Structure 1
């Protein structure tokens, strides 16, 4: 109990110190109210009586008002909701003062009515002071424990200006708001511990280290950082610390538009503007965070090669590798424009890192070998693939040549030059697959696993690691960009089946966990012959993603935009799986990563089967390709020949 009282006193003292001018004004107003009540009820008596009455009233006011939170609300957020607190505070003040006066004077009588009249005078005075204070520099709030929990994206706001005020008023009034403010960083050091509307002020941008330490201690984990004022209003050094913290925690940074900014509304038949959806907002969980120290130890000062460097995963992989100070980075990509884009990006963002851009299709074994001869990479990441299930289903030979034979070519080149490690990027669609794309990726997994188990005599100890994960939010041609286009066109959003579920992660998560698994596998020599499977949380219904994206765009599912069920496409499954039933699954020593140990296929058998697979694919024999895949990949049972059109064309 003493500790509780001490905490209450400390909190009240801090609130009063921050709102000292309002506190003094309340004392003066309360004293004036009791004097006016005395004049109205009993008339003027003498100065000693008036002084005693004022002294008792001041003590009662100072004791009662902080208890009812009259100094916890920030100036700009004062509103009609404060009336209840004002009435309670005024009533408590008058009650305490009346009881003290009666106890000390021993004459209730007409004096009791003085304090009743004082109450009716004090309420408008306290209210008026708060209305006037809103035009000045005072601060007030209400306790956090009275604030109901809100669903939405946990959001940290920076600044307490007019834009923040309007933003919070809009969010707190909207039960379906997509953002849930969890705290504010102010530019005033004295407002920490107060509240702006119902949102706690966690600290000052001028003392960012203390504010961030408090958030860590209290377990406050925002997923979005919103700047409510122009960045020029923040101290540059402290502001940069905040941005660095957000980057380490994978927190998206956004900015509220200024109140004077205008937005053109064009090509909108409904006269409304649809907000673009941030893919990070779609993920129903915080992004995973990792310690980058082990990544730097793996990459720094080494030659690194990335295939598929112009794709969504490859580009992010290249950027993160470049940020870890490699000796050089070699970008391998068969699309000229994509290679140009990632090359320019790295040269501008990481000018100190030597970058080599090589146009190459990983199907071309001789070209791959020449690139490896020229650069002799120590770390190899194979992110090149044909990944769209319907496209590969319609073109199985092309899928085999890129996903299986191309992966083999890169692995053989890494083996020949005795690289430290090669990492194969795989997919959950390779597990118990019903489509050609998944089967080809499964073959690539088998090949890497077989080489990893026999690497010492063949490849001088090169590690061959495979990382398997699910759908990547925002990657090219994936679900989220499709829904974004459909929303911008006014709908409908197309969902194949209302029961369909998928595992999701962001591009950044996929790449960081891929690098992390690779670093531990290389440094600690763990997971020999195993597949690293990234933890993506629980699967998410596609229908839920569609509805969430519509709401994030500021629209209503089923009213503003419809969702249309179009039926499952060839090769698709309702539910993806992370592990094959024949795999032994164990927890790895890497946080966020589990290990799967398949029985595998002997390397000699695999090499022979892949040679047949390559010859059949180059002949354009789609039916033959599917037959070999069915024999090679356990559990692969295509629903129907996916390459009929290609067979017919051949």
Structure 2
């Protein structure tokens, strides 16, 4: 019996020792994690004990009083700090201080001051000290604790703000709804944890308009969306995104419908923030794959522009857009329509594209006068008749054949559309005296190794030559070329291809591990194009420039593929493989924004740089274009390649001797053995694909990026 009792006692002591050890370990962790805050609190307690005695005494301090003050500081610290630790005040992280958390310091402080008073009075240390010392000490301690925790929170906020995007670089958004989700989202924004800038909030209440919530103005009530829309349209910039902070069913149905229709017309994304109280699915399958927005793939903030300049330039103008149903053309049409032009003239060769862009205008901009023409820009006579009928003020040429492999395999068609078609539109624009002609170009025109890039380079030359004629003759018609890189989400581009391959379960096909490209969203490319044309019209003497849009740093295609796989809830290499299948004919590992023989100058406004190439004399250019047109219409691909090589420096030296099959030259890629005969040194070495890799790609015939 005695043995059993001894065993129970030992077990109890062991458990008690274990609990004590566990508590001691927790206290050590708390002290270690908040050691700076604990040290500051100890200083606050000591100073409160000293200052309270001095304030209560109100007389000069003698040497004996100084000794009492010093001993009181030690006593106050020795009694208060263990009580604060026992009250678990340091269980909270110093960066998570809240108002309720500050209230919890009051009971522990009251107990500490009472204990301090009892000990000081009982020991005789404070025999001559007034009793008002202790309330003063309590007040000083509480104020000190508030200050130390406020400083800790502010320091953390400052540290996070260093990662915050610079002003103007953040993406402007409007929140719809006021609740816990909005509150947390705004806190994250103000702490620099979000790439967004909240420019307004839409509330459900009718009485909160123009009030501030976390320093952000409330624009109005969702029940009356029209005043909100008018207010946003009058601002200098529109939001990129409307963020719904609650489920749609929680909002007024009519108001949210009007707001959504307006956002769609303006190209503004409408997205929902996840509800904090709803469970998210734990796994992913082919049935619940996440829909990826092209703008989410871009790893940099999108460029934003001020709308006032665009309104002043395009409002009340007759604007003509070629290729109006394509990816760039339809976005041009949408943005110009939102600027209240006098008339929109649309030229489109594809019936389906024409129908879709016309339907979009009928739905969102029924008040804008428009005329749609089914016409190919190769048809000079029909094109001229359209220009004579409408006599536009502004012309945007977005019609082009843009896919490198297709144009490489069909060089004659590429020349007829990208070169001869551009010439036809330019000449028609000059004949009716338009204010500005804008040519949409590409970075593939720089140091090009493919037919598509060469044709776009010749189109740049022709626009530059026409703009120089305007300067020499004192005419009013300006000609601009705007050069930018790959557009995310455009037809036949990288994002739709990867989405399709992810939906099939992979693999994602990439041409080369080192392949990289410049990327922009369609919206920011078109906005900057409109800005470049508007600013170009203001600059009267800077003729012959090419506007090059700022696209940030180039992105490796394989990195983008991995990012899209992760955004779909998959693991690259495990769930979905990435397969390298070889460089396509005419492709380069990387694109460049400026040619080596171009003079680069600042444009004088944000987001754009100017390139000034050596101009080609217009007599030589016109003669070369006539020869190119004859060769292309006769189907002589070899002559077309030779003609492009005569005009475009560095193009075609390595493949002029390529064999001709059935009267047409085969789409052979550029050779990498000839690197010394270019008229200027190449900026980088463009390696060809490994022979086995290229052979495998040709054998399998896969689509790839």
The TM-score with structure 2 as length reference comes to 0.64
2:441 to 396, 413, 426: 426
2:573 is paired with a residue of what secondary structure? Answer: coil
**In the alignment, structure 1 residue 618 sits paired with structure 2 residue 633:** yes
Q: How much does 1:94 deviate?
A: 2.6
Does the residue aligned with 2:663 lie in a helix, a strand or coil? helix
**1:141-192 deviation line (CA, Å, top 9, x unaligned):** x958668969999898655768889999xx9xxxxxx9889989796999xx
Aligned match of 1:544 in 559, 562, 575?
Answer: 559
Instruction: Flag the 1:422–1:180 CA change in 2: closer, same or farther, 3 A.
Output: closer
Q: What is the aligned partner in structure 2 of residue 296 from structure 1?
A: 311
Distance 1:628 1:352, change over 3 A: same
In structure 1, C-alpha distance between the alignment counterparts of 2:527 and 2:201, rounded to whole Å:
29
SS of structure 2 residue aligned to 1:558: coil
Q: Is the 8 A contact 1:298 1:523 kept in 2?
A: no
1:449–1:465 Cα contact (<8 Å) kept: yes
Q: Output the CA distance in 1 between the equivalents of 2:447 and 2:437.
A: 25
CA shift at 1:89, angstroms?
7.8
Q: Residue 335 of structure 1 aligns with which residue? A: 350
Q: How does 1:103-182 map to 2 (within 5 A)?
A: 103=117, 106=120, 143=153, 159=177
Check conservation: 1:396, 1:625, Cα contact below 8 A: yes
Residue 252 (structure 2) pairs with residue 226 (structure 1): no
The counterpart of 2:542, out of the listed 515, 527, 530, is 527
Deviations 1:169-221 (A, max 9, x none): xx9xxxxxx9889989796999xxxxxxxxx966575789xxxxxxxxxxxx9
Aligned pair partner of 1:99 in 113, 130, 138: 113
Superimposed CA distance per residue, residues 424-476 of structure 1 (whole angstroms, 9 cap, x where no aligned partner) = 01000000000000000000000010011012566932101111011111111
Say if 1:64 and 1:89, in contact at 8 Å, map to a contact too: no
Alpha carbons of 1:291 and 1:231: their partners in 2 closer, same or farther (altered >3 Å)?
Answer: same
What are structure 2's unaligned runs of at least 5 residues?
1-82, 124-151, 222-237, 667-705
The corresponding residue for 2:432 is 417
Task: Map 1:180-259; keep pairs closer than 5 Å.
Answer: 205=218, 226-231=243-248, 233=250, 252-256=269-273
- Residue 527 of structure 1 deviates from its aligned partner by 3.1
Distance 1:181 1:476, change over 3 A: closer
Closer/same/farther in 2, CA of residues 151 and 477 from structure 1, 3 Å limit: farther
Q: Contact between 1:205 and 1:239, CA under 8 Å: does it hold in 2?
A: no
Conserved? CA contact 2:321–2:346, under 8 Å: yes
CA 1:319–1:181: 2 relative to 1, 3 Å: closer
The 8 Å contact of residues 396 and 622 in structure 1, kept in 2 or not, is answered as yes
CA change 1:638–1:388 in 2 (3 A) is: farther
The question of 1:594 aligning with 2:609 is answered: yes
Per the alignment, do residues 286 and 335 of structure 1 end up closer, same or farther by CA in structure 2, a change over 3 Å counting? same
Residue aligned with 1:454, SS: helix
Q: CA deviation at 1:232?
A: 6.5
Residue 185 of structure 1 contacts residue 202 of structure 1 at CA under 8 Å; is this kept in 2?
A: no
Listed as ranges, the matches of 1:561-600 within 5 Å are 561-600=576-615
Helix, strand or coil at the partner of 1:594: strand
Structure 1's 243 and 404: CA in aligned 2 closer, same or farther, altered over 3 A? same
Match of 1:72 among 63, 84, 98: 98
CA distance in 1, matches of 2:183, 2:308: 40
1:647 aligns with 2:647: no
Alpha-carbon deviations, 1:102-152, whole Å to 9, x = none?
31575679xxxxxxxxxxxxxxxxxxxxxxxxxxxxxxxx95866896999
The change in CA–CA distance for 1:272 and 1:638 in structure 2 (over 3 A counts) is farther
Q: Distance in 2 between matches of 1:350 and 1:646?
A: 50
Q: Is the 8 A contact 1:307 1:332 kept in 2?
A: yes
Find the aligned partners of 2:401 and 2:654 in 1 and give their Cα distance: 20
Q: 2: distance between equivalents of 1:249 and 1:461?
A: 31
Q: Give 5+ residue unaligned stretches, structure 1.
A: 1-56, 74-84, 110-141, 172-177, 191-199, 209-220
From the superposition, tell whether residues 608 and 491 of structure 1 become closer, same or farther in structure 2 (CA, over 3 Å).
Answer: same
Alignment partners' CA distance in 1, 2:262 and 2:364: 19
Judged with a 3 Å threshold, the aligned counterparts in structure 2 of structure 1 residues 72 and 493 are, in CA distance, closer, same or farther, namely: same
Q: Secondary structure at the match of 1:353?
A: coil
What is residue 195 of structure 1 aligned with on the other side? none
| Structure whose CA Rg is larger | 2
8 A contact 2:286–2:503 mirrored in 1: no
Taking the aligned partners of 1:278 and 1:432, their CA distance within structure 2 comes to: 32
TM-score with structure 1 length normalisation? 0.69
Selected match of 2:290 from 263, 268, 275 = 275
